[in-house]
C-alpha cells in the first residue's frame, strides 16, 4: 500500500519551512553528538558508545506522528527521535555517556545504563502514576537485541483493552485506546526469535502497533544476506499483508533518505494503527551507519570501498541537506551558519556535562586529601599514606572508584592507631560509601510505603462447619472475587480462557468477564510475558499465565532482562506490576516436573518469587500482590489442585504475607525447612520421626524472594540447634541459597551444633512416572534417613547407625 500524502496537515509555507529547518537542526545536532561521543570514548572519558548516526531522518518522521499517550519500545539508535520530541538534550546525551549518577542530569538511567538507552518518567516521586496521556512515553530500553519486542506487544494491547473493556478507570492511561505503540529495531535483529514471535502475536491480536525496521544492510559486521532470507525482511513478511478477506499487517517500505516519503509513510502508518487498531510494519531501507556499529571497532574493516562510498553519498543527513537546497528552503550560507552554531552548542554541552560530572568528584578528592594529610601527620606509616595521597593528587580527573579505593586502602595503615584524625577518616569513608553505594544499588525493589512486604497479613476465615473443596475451587472463586473487585485486572495464557486453564482454576470466568479479560493466547511464552509487561506499564494489572514452570524458560530472558530490572534501571521512574502465574513441582517426567528455583531466584532479582504449598496460600498471595504494585512470580503446586482444603469465607480479602515463613509444626531436635509440594512429604516424615524419638520443627519458606525478613528460622535454630533444608531443585540450587540466607545473613552458625545440611533432588532432570519421581527427587525415606543421620552424628549411642 502506497503512503497517502493527503494525510499531511495543511500549513503555510513559513510554518513548513520552519518545521523542516527545525528537523534539520535536530538531525545535525544528533549527528554532532554521535561524532563527539565517539571521540569521548576513544579519549577515555567514556567507557563505550553506540550511537544513532545514519538513522536521523526516519526518526524525525516517526517523531512527527508520535502523539501524547503513545509509547515507544525501541533500541539504542533512537537518540534523534528522543531529541526531536524534546525529551533528550545534548548535555543529557553526554551525561549518559559519562554515566553521571544524577537522575536530573541523566534522566534516562542516572548512569546505570550505557548511553543510547532511553526512557521517560511514568511515576511521581511518591510512586503514583503521572498522566501518561499528556506526555510522550518511552518504555525503558534494554541492550538485548529484539528484547524490546515482547514488551511492545503489551504496550499496544493496552490500547485495545482500554477501548474494549468498560468500567476501567483509564483517566491517566488512555483516551479510548487511541494510543499507538511504536517499535524500532535494526534489520539484523529481526532474525531473533523474539521479533518473529512478537510480530506474529500482534498480527493475531490486531493491536495498534507500528513496527519500524531501520535497515542499513548490516548487523554489526555481517551483511543482511547472512541474517535474513532474501536479505529483505519486508519481503519475508509479505505473507502477513492484510487483504479484503484476512486480517494482518499493513506493510510499508520507504527509503531512509527520502524526507517527504518518510513523513507521509509514518503519518499513514499512524492513522491506520490509531484509528483501526491494525498493526503496521515500516521497513526503512537504504540507511547508513557512518561510524560503524559502535566504538568497539571501525566499519572500514568489513565494508568494501564501494559500499563506503555509497554510504557517504547516500547519508540521510547529506541527502536531506541537498533536498533543502534544491527546494530553496534555505540557502547554502544559512545552512552553514546553522551547522556552525550547532557544532558550537554541542561542544559547549559536552564541556558543561564533563565539568558537572567531575565537580563532585573533585570536591570529594579535595576533602579526602585533607583527611589523608591529617592522618599521615600523626601516623608512623605516614610514608605509605602520603604516597596514596600524592597518587590521588596526581589524578586530575578522578572517578568515584579512585576516591573510594584510596580512602579504604588508607585505613589499612592505621589499623592499630587511635587518633581523632583516624576517626575522622573512618567517618568520611563511611559517609562517602553510604552516599555513593545507593546510587548504584537502590530501587531493585519498591522502596516506598506501599511495598508488598508491608501489606498486612489477613488470615483466611472459616465458618463453623468448614466446607472441604478441591484446591482449584478456592483459586477459581478467589479469582472471581479479584476480577469483580479490580476492573483493571485481566489474565491470559495458553488454555486460560475458554476452558478455564488446564486445572480449571479459572472455570467459567471467561463467560462472566469476557474474552478481553480472561483470554486465550497462542503458544508463545515470551510474548505472554511481554504482553503483561507492556500492559502493566500502562496502568493495567495483568496476570500472565505460563502453563508449566518448565515453560517459563522460554520467557526467562524477557523476565530477567526486562521485567526484573525495570524499577532498577529507571531508578524508580517506571514500574510494571505484572503477576506471573505458573504451576510446577513433583509431577513426573523431564519436561513437566522441573523445579529450576536456583536459576530463577538468581536471574529474577527484582521480582518476588512465591512458592505456596496449597491453593489457599496461593490465593492469598494474589490478593496481597494486588494491594501493592510489584512484579512477582507465583508457582502453584501442580499436584495440589484436586487435594481437599477448607474453603475460606473471605475470598478475595485474605492476604498471605510476603517475606514471612510459617511454622507448621513445632519441635525441639532439628529445624526442617522446605516449600511447595515437597513440604507435604516433610510434614508426613516429621510424624514418622516421632516414632524413633526425634522431634522435628517444620517450617514453610512460602516466599523465596524475599526470604524470612523477620528471621523466624533463626529463632527456630536457637531452639533446635540443627538445620536441614529439603528442596527438589538440583544440588547447590535453591537449598544452597536458603542456607546462605540462614547461616550467613541470619548468623545462625552461632547456634548450630551440627553442620547445616541440604537434601535436594538429583543433578539430572526427573525421570518419568512414579518410580522416576521417587528416585529423582527427595522422597520420604530420603528425608527420614537424612534427619536420622544428623541426629546419629550428635548422639550415636541413642541413635545407632540406620544402614
Q: What gap in Å lies between CA 569 and CA 444, rounded to an integer?
A: 8
Non-local CB neighbours of 454 within 8 Å, separated by 6+ positions: 628
Task: Report residue 387 as a C-alpha cell.
Answer: 604516597
Strand partners, 757: 724
Question: Would you say 426 and 417 are in contact if contact means Cβ atoms under 8 Å apart?
Answer: no
Question: Would you say 120 and 69 are in contact if contact means Cβ atoms under 8 Å apart?
Answer: no
Question: Is 592 among the residues known to form the active site?
Answer: yes
Cis ω before 216 (30° cut-off from 0): no
Question: Would you say 530 and 561 are in contact if contact means Cβ atoms under 8 Å apart?
Answer: no
Q: Among 501, 500, 498, 600, which residue's Cα sits nearest to residue 549?
A: 600
What's the maximum distance between 2 C-alpha atoms anywhere in the chain? 102
DSSP 176: T
Q: Which residue in this structure is represented by grid cell 557517504?
A: 312
Q: Which residue in this structure is represented by grid cell 513548513?
A: 16
Non-local CB neighbours of 34 within 8 Å, separated by 6+ positions: 51, 52, 53, 79, 290, 291
Q: What gap in Å lies between CA 260 and CA 674, rounded to an integer?
A: 65
Strand partners, 254: 284
Name the 3-class secondary structure at 579: strand
Q: What gap in Å lies between CA 615 and CA 504, rounded to an integer?
A: 13
- Strands, E, within 630-686: which ranges? 632-637, 644-646, 662-665, 670-674
Name the 3-class secondary structure at 449: coil
Q: What gap in Å lies between CA 732 and CA 172, rounded to an integer?
A: 46
Rounded alpha-carbon distances, angstroms, from residue 37 to 241, 381, 728 = 40, 44, 51
Question: Would you say 613 and 700 are in contact if contact means Cβ atoms under 8 Å apart?
Answer: yes
Q: Among 117, 161, 171, 162, which residue's Cα sits nearest to residue 573?
A: 117
Q: What gap in Å lies between CA 171 and CA 185, rounded to an integer?
A: 31
Inter-helix orientation angle 678-689/780-794, to 10° = 50
Give the active site residue among 264, 592, 608, 764.
Answer: 592
Inter-helix orientation angle 316-326/332-378, to 10° = 140
Q: What is the 3-state secondary structure (H, E, C) of 74-140?
A: CCCCCHHHHHHCCCCCHHHHHHHHHCCCCCCCCCCCCCCCCCCCCCCCCECCCCCECCHHHCCEECC
The sign of the CA dihedral 597, 601, 604, 609 is: positive
DSSP 675: -
The total number of residues shown for the chain amounts to 803
Rounded alpha-carbon distances, angstroms, from residue 124 to 82, 128, 355, 533 = 21, 5, 29, 19
Q: What gap in Å lies between CA 527 and CA 530, rounded to an integer?
A: 4
Task: Report residue 340 as a C-alpha cell.
Answer: 556552525
User: What spatial distance separates the first Cα and last Cα of the chain, rounded to whole Å?
Assistant: 78
Name the 3-class secondary structure at 200: helix
> From edge to edge, which strands make up the β-sheet containing 670-674?
662-665, 696-700, 670-674, 723-726, 757-759
Question: Would you say 98 and 45 are in contact if contact means Cβ atoms under 8 Å apart?
Answer: yes
**H or E segment to which residue 637 belongs:** strand 632-637
Q: Are strands 723-726 and 670-674 parallel, antiparallel or unpaired?
A: parallel
Q: Among 679, 635, 603, 640, which residue's Cα sits nearest to residue 473?
A: 640
Query: Annotated active-site positions, please?
Result: 592
Amino acid at each position: 500500500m502506497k503512503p497517502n500524502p493527503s494525510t499531511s496537515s495543511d500549513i503555510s509555507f513559513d510554518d513548513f519551512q520552519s518545521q523542516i529547518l527545525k528537523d534539520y537542526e535536530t538531525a545535525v545536532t544528533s549527528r554532532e553528538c554521535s561524532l563527539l561521543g565517539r571521540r569521548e570514548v576513544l579519549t577515555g572519558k567514556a567507557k563505550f558508545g553506540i550511537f544513532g548516526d545514519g538513522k536521523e531522518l526516519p526518526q524525525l518522521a516517526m517523531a512527527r506522528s508520535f502523539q501524547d499517550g503513545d509509547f515507544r519500545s525501541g533500541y539504542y539508535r533512537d537518540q534523534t527521535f528522543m531529541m526531536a520530541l524534546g525529551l533528550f538534550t545534548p548535555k543529557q546525551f553526554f551525561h549518559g555517556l559519562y554515566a553521571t549518577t544524577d537522575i536530573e542530569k541523566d534522566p534516562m538511567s542516572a548512569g546505570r545504563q550505557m548511553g543510547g538507552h532511553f526512557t521517560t518518567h511514568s511515576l511521581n516521586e511518591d510512586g503514583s502514576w503521572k498522566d501518561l496521556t499528556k506526555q510522550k512515553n518511552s518504555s525503558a530500553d534494554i541492550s538485548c537485541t529484539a528484547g524490546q519486542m515482547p514488551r511492545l506487544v503489551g504496550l499496544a494491547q493496552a490500547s485495545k483493552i482500554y477501548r474494549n473493556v468498560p468500567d476501567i478507570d483509564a483517566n491517566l492511561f488512555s483516551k479510548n485506546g487511541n494510543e499507538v505503540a511504536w517499535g524500532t529495531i535494526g534489520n539484523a535483529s529481526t532474525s531473533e526469535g523474539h521479533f518473529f514471535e512478537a510480530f506474529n502475536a500482534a498480527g493475531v491480536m490486531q493491536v495498534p502497533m507500528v513496527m519500524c525496521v531501520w535497515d542499513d544492510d548490516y548487523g554489526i559486521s555481517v551483511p543482511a544476506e547472512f541474517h535474513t532470507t532474501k536479505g529483505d525482511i519486508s519481503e519475508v513478511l509479505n505473507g502477513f499483508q492484510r487483504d479484503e478477506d484476512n486480517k494482518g499487517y499493513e506493510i510499508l517500505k520507504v527509503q531512509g533518505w527520502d524526507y517527504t516519503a518518510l513523513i507521509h509513510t509514518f503519518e499513514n502508518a499512524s492513522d491506520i494503527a490509531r484509528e483501526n487498531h491494525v498493526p503496521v510494519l515500516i521497513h526503512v531501507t537504504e540507511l547508513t551507519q557512518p561510524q560503524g556499529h559502535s566504538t568497539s571497532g571501525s566499519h572500514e574493516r568489513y565494508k568494501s570501498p564501494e559500499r563506503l562510498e555509497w554510504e557517504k553519498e547516500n547519508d540521510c543527513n547529506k541527502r536531506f541537506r541537498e533536498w533543502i537546497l534544491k527546494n530553496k528552503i534555505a540557502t547554502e550560507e544559512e545552512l552553514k551558519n546553522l551547522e556552525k552554531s550547532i557544532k558550537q552548542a554541542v561542544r559547549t554541552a559536552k564541556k558543561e556535562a564533563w565539568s558537572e560530572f567531575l565537580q563532585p568528584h573533585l570536591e570529594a578528592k579535595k576533602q579526602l586529601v585533607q583527611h589523608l594529610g591529617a592522618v599521615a601527620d600523626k601516623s608512623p606509616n605516614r610514608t605509605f599514606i602520603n604516597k596514596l595521597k600524592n597518587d590521588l593528587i596526581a589524578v586530575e580527573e578522578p572517578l568515584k572508584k579512585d576516591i573510594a579505593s584510596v580512602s579504604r586502602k588508607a585505613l589499612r595503615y592505621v589499623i592499630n592507631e587511635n587518633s581523632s584524625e583516624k576517626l575522622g577518616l573512618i567517618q568520611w569513608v563511611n559517609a562517602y560509601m553510604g552516599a555513593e553505594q545507593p546510587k548504584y544499588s537502590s530501587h531493585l525493589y519498591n522502596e516506598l510505603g506501599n511495598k508488598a512486604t508491608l501489606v498486612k497479613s489477613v488470615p483466611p476465615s472459616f465458618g463453623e462447619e468448614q466446607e472441604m473443596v478441591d484446591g482449584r475451587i478456592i483459586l477459581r472463586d478467589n479469582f472471581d472475587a479479584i476480577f469483580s473487585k479490580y476492573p483493571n485486572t485481566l489474565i491470559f495464557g495458553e488454555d486460560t480462557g475458554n476452558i478455564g486453564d488446564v486445572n480449571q482454576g479459572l472455570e467459567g470466568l471467561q463467560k462472566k468477564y469476557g474474552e478481553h479479560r480472561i483470554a486465550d493466547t497462542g503458544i508463545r511464552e515470551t510474548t505472554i510475558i511481554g504482553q503483561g509487561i507492556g500492559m502493566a506499564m500502562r496502568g493495567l494489572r495483568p496476570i500472565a499465565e505460563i502453563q508449566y514452570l518448565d515453560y517459563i524458560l522460554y520467557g526467562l530472558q524477557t523476565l530477567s532482562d526486562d521485567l526484573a530490572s525495570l524499577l532498577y534501571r529507571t531508578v524508580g521512574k517506571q514500574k510494571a506490576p505484572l503477576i506471573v502465574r505458573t504451576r510446577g513441582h513433583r509431577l513426573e517426567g523431564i519436561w513437566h516436573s522441573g523445579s529450576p528455583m536456583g536459576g530463577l531466584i538468581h536471574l529474577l532479582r527484582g521480582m518476588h518469587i512465591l512458592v505456596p504449598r496449597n491453593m489457599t496460600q496461593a490465593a492469598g498471595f494474589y490478593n496481597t500482590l494486588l494491594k501493592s504494585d510489584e512484579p512477582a512470580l507465583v508457582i502453584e503446586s501442580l499436584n495440589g489442585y484436586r487435594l481437599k482444603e477448607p474453603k475460606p469465607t473471605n475470598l478475595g480479602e485474605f492476604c498471605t504475607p510476603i517475606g514471612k515463613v510459617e511454622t507448621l509444626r513445632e519441635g525441639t531436635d532439628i529445624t526442617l525447612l522446605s516449600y511447595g509440594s515437597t513440604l507435604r512429604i516433610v510434614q508426613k516424615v516429621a510424624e514418622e520421626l516421632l516414632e524413633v524419638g526425634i522431634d522435628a520443627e517444620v517450617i514453610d519458606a512460602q516466599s523465596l524472594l524475599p526470604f524470612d525478613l523477620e528471621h523466624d528460622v533463626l529463632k527456630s535454630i536457637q531452639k533446635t540447634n540443627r538445620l536441614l533444608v529439603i528442596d527438589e531443585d538440583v544440588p547447590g540450587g535453591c537449598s544452597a541459597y536458603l542456607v546462605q540466607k540462614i547461616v550467613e545473613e541470619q548468623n545462625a552458625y552461632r547456634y548450630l551444633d551440627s553442620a547445616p545440611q541440604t537434601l535436594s533432588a538429583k543433578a539430572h532432570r526427573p525421570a518419568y512416572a512414579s518410580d522416576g519421581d521417587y528416585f529423582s527427587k527427595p522422597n520420604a525415606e530420603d528425608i527420614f534417613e537424612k534427619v536420622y543421620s544428623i541426629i546419629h552424628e550428635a548422639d550415636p549411642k541413642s541413635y545407632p547407625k540406620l544402614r
